[in-house]
Chain A
Amino acid sequence: MSFKLGAGVLALMAGLAASAAQAADFEFWHPFGGHNGEVVQQLVDKFNTEHPGITVNAVFKGGYAEVLNGSIAAFRAGKAPGLIVVQARNAPTMLTSGAALPVYELMPQAGFNVDWNDFIRPALAMFSDDKGPVSLPFNSSTPILWYNVDAFEKAGIASVPQTWDDMEEAAKKIKAAGYDCALTAGWPHWVHLDAYSQIHRIEVATNNNGMDGWDTKFTFDTQPMYVNHIKRLKRWIDEGLYTYSGRTGQGADAAFNSEQCAMMLESSAAYGGIKAGAKFKFAAGYMPYEKGTESPANSLIGGGTLFVLKGQTDENNKAIATFLDYLTQVPQQIYWHKETGYVPISLKAYEAAKAEGYYDENPHQELAILQLNRGGAPGPFNRGFRFGYASQVYDVMSEELERVWSGETDVDTALSDSVRRGDEIIERFVRSIGQ
């Protein structure tokens, strides 16, 4: 209790301090720890120096969930931060909340003319409503294939696997070369359901995967390609070609960096960790696709996006807009991209990095951008996903898949169970938004 009292006193003091200050200042809550946290702080410090009169207070709140929960609690108490980073999958929570100030309103009001056409399309598609982009894409990434070059040489693999058939062949060779684990994946749900279905333009749920309406029903259990993919993964696990390392990227990263696993399907933003941790030569390739796919589509965006919360003064909103504009500028984007492995969100920044010759030395850094931008404008079933209570939906799917991997149940039962449970969750969400 003394802690709560202490916190209350601190909050009170902070409130007094805030009312004493004349100039604009707002809080920016983010989930970046470690190296990425330092990079964010650098960006914020530079902004604060260049803009006297505006103070951005960057606060590291823990993970994505802590940022969102903290923001919700603060919002309900009338003390919301001005700007927050929200995980891509939770964007729907914000889009329907009525708590977000859309950037398509904020930016023009503050006098900034943003060329949205210059933004990476899959990112923008995920975070827009029918009037325009509601949030500003910031830390965007996409899954790619990371591989251990030394292991490839040892196993005699000449070219980077392109298709899932190539993957099987490569995995067998790696196994034969003495590796315990040929292939693993970080965020397996994102890789094997989300990215897989986007690349092959497979319908996962009705209403164009939720993009055209909240009231959706899941359909992935009736998609032969997807069902076969899961069955193949199960077979690979049984044959020792694929290793499951948990729902997040932590286990996969550790296995890849310690040379236990020779291939890893993981976020392009795993780059920072691999660069720091791997003591071998590594490289990357595109996410594999099925043989016979004529033009694999763009893969799915992941990572986080910036939402502006309502409830700030006009002064502060203007300051937030200024900060957002600063973040989208080329120098900041290039710095962020190079340091973290997240993709630059504007094509201008990408071209500038390319002109510098950055990708000649770091070709894997360009892969993610090319993969996100390929296949023309995103069409049906590859514009992204929009599911209410998304975290719960994804938890359910991960749970059911884990049951398959451990042999507790078979693929068909698990998929129909996750569709049933997922539909129930969506129904609750639709009720909660009063539709």
Chain B
Amino acid sequence: MQKRALFSGSALPYLLVLPQLAVLLVFFFWPAGQAVFQSMTISDPFGFRVIFVGLDNFKSLLSGKEYWSSVRVTTMFTLCATFLSLAGGFFMAVFADRAIRGQRALKLLLIWPYAVAPAVAGILWLFLFHPMFGSIALFLKAIGVPWNPSLNGTHAFVLVTLAAAWKQFSYNFVFFLAGLQAIPKSLIEAAAIDGAGPATRMVKIVFPLLSPTTFFLVVMNFVFMFFETFGIIHAVTQGGPGNSTNILVYKVFRDGFIGQDLGSSSAQSVLLMIIVMVLTVFQFRYVERKVVYA
């Protein structure tokens, strides 16, 4: 039988959610509405002339190959960086979970990158990999790798992907570690007694029991890679070279705030909003079915 707490009147619950609704209205719905309106206009930056153009901004975006190249870059970037940071976080969590001595210190050190702002993380990686003065870049050159992210798109892509994955892996680490520690030792031991080796135990017991955590993290990582990596891109590559790291959210900024084309920029943010909404719905409808909530 379900427990229910019922309020007698109907005003109080609405009153209680009102502050939250007000915040949502002012900081989400109002700007989102503005963006939708602006996406159907072409205007000069100072806002003297606003010309309504219907869906022209969307048409010109979707018919040009540049937007689709940005979609491709974003997809690749999100998948690679999410995979790397999830795998890294999981790997570290498994080892930290087993560490016998210095676990607290280890945990603290592994959580540190999360405290670093994306832009700062970008700069840190740039300092290591800058073709002119980066210490790792100079090492790569010395062993014969022609490392140059300012010219080679693949190098630039690898660099921002690593930086983003590194920045986010701590977050994954924390959740995976908590998830691992919540798995009853008795289950693992019972399986061991039944003759399951470490690999089998990992696949048959740990993975399924961690699936809610993993699912949650995939959603969070996707959102992070889509939006929050702006600082990394801005600090490291500014979307270049060519278009090789021009992810969607950076393109919104570049076309709107550097290029002064607010109409196209708004159209892009509306599209981005739709993409993320579709992606999230998809994740909850289809991926979540495979998740075991123990």
Cα separation A152 to B254 with both chains bound (whole Å): 41
Instruction: Please pick, from A251, A403, A428, the residue contacting B264 in the complex, using a CB distance under 8 A.
Output: A428
Q: What are the 8 closest A-B residue pairs judged by CB atoms, nearest first?
A: A392-B259, A402-B241, A246-B150, A99-B46, A402-B242, A403-B242, A432-B42, A97-B46
* Interface hits, B94-133 → A, CB 8 Å: 130-133
* A42 CB, nearest partner CB in chain B, Å: 30
In the complex the two chains form, what is the Cα distance from A96 to B45 in whole Å?
A: 10
Q: With A398-B240, A402-B242 as known contacts, state yes or no: A428 contacts B51, CB within 8 Å.
A: no
Give A394-429 as 1s and 0s: 1 = Cβ < 8 Å from B's Cβ atoms. Answer: 010011101101101000000000000100110011
Q: Can you list 13 pairs linking A and B with CB atoms under 8 Å apart?
A: A1-B23, A97-B45, A98-B44, A247-B238, A254-B132, A389-B260, A391-B258, A395-B258, A399-B243, A402-B151, A405-B241, A424-B60, A433-B49
Interface size in chain A (residues, C-beta < 8 A): 42
Contacts A399-B243, A408-B242 aside, 5 further interface pairs with beta carbons under 8 A come to: A244-B151, A391-B258, A428-B60, A432-B49, A434-B49
On whether A421 and B240 interact (CB within 8 A), knowing A99-B46, A406-B153, the answer reads: no
CB distance from A392 to the nearest CB of B (A): 4
CA–CA, A433 and B53, complex, Å: 13
Q: Is B241 within 8 A of A395, CB to CB?
A: no
**Are B242 and A399 neighbours in the complex by a CB distance under 8 Å?**
yes
Are B42 and A428 in contact, with the CB atoms below 8 A? yes
**With A99-B46, A255-B132, A434-B51: A247-B261 Cβ-Cβ less than 8 Å:** no
Choose among B23, B47, B242 the residue with the greatest number of A CB atoms under 10 Å from its CB.
B242
Q: How far is the CB of A299 from chain B (nearest CB, A)?
A: 25
Set A97, A258, A391: member contacting B44, Cβ < 8 A: A97
Closest to B23 in A: A1
A contact residues around B130 at 8 Å (CB): 251
**Binding stretch for chain B, among A69-77, A338-346, A372-380:** A69-77
B residues less than 8 Å from A254 (CB atoms): 132-133
- Note all chain A residues with C-beta closer than 8 A to B243: 399
Digitize B234-275: 1 where CB-to-A-CB distance is under 8 Å, 0 elsewhere.
Answer: 000010111100000000001101111101100000000000
A258 touches B150 (CB 8 A): no
Interface centre among B238, B258, B261 (most CB of A within 10 A): B258
Q: What are the residues of chain A within 8 A of B153 when measuring CB–CB?
A: 402, 406, 408
Q: How far is the CA of A99 from the CA of B44 in the complex (A)?
A: 11
B48 at the interface (CB under 8 A from A): yes
Interface status of B64 (Cβ within 8 A of chain A): yes
Q: Which residues of A contact B49 (CB under 8 A)?
A: 432-434
Residue in A75, A392, A403, A428 whose CB lies within 8 Å of B46 = A75
> Does A291 lie at the interface of the complex (its beta carbon under 8 Å from any beta carbon of B)?
no
Q: Are B48 and A1 in contact (CB under 8 A)?
A: no
Residue of A nearest to B41 (CB): A432
Complex alpha-carbon distance, A68 and B261, angstroms:
13
Please, which residues of chain B bring their CB within 8 A of the CB of A403? Answer: 241-242
Is A260 part of the binding interface, using a Cβ–Cβ cutoff of 8 Å?
yes
Nearest residue, chain A, Cβ from B47: A76
Query: 1/0 contact trace for B128-161 toward A, CB 8 Å?
Result: 0011110000000000000000111100000000
Q: In this assembly, does B43 line the interface, its C-beta being within 8 Å of a C-beta of chain A?
A: yes
Closest Cβ neighbor of B26 among chain A residues:
A1
Within 8 A of A (CB), among B25-43: 27, 42-43
Is B189 part of the contact surface with A, judged by Cβ < 8 Å? no
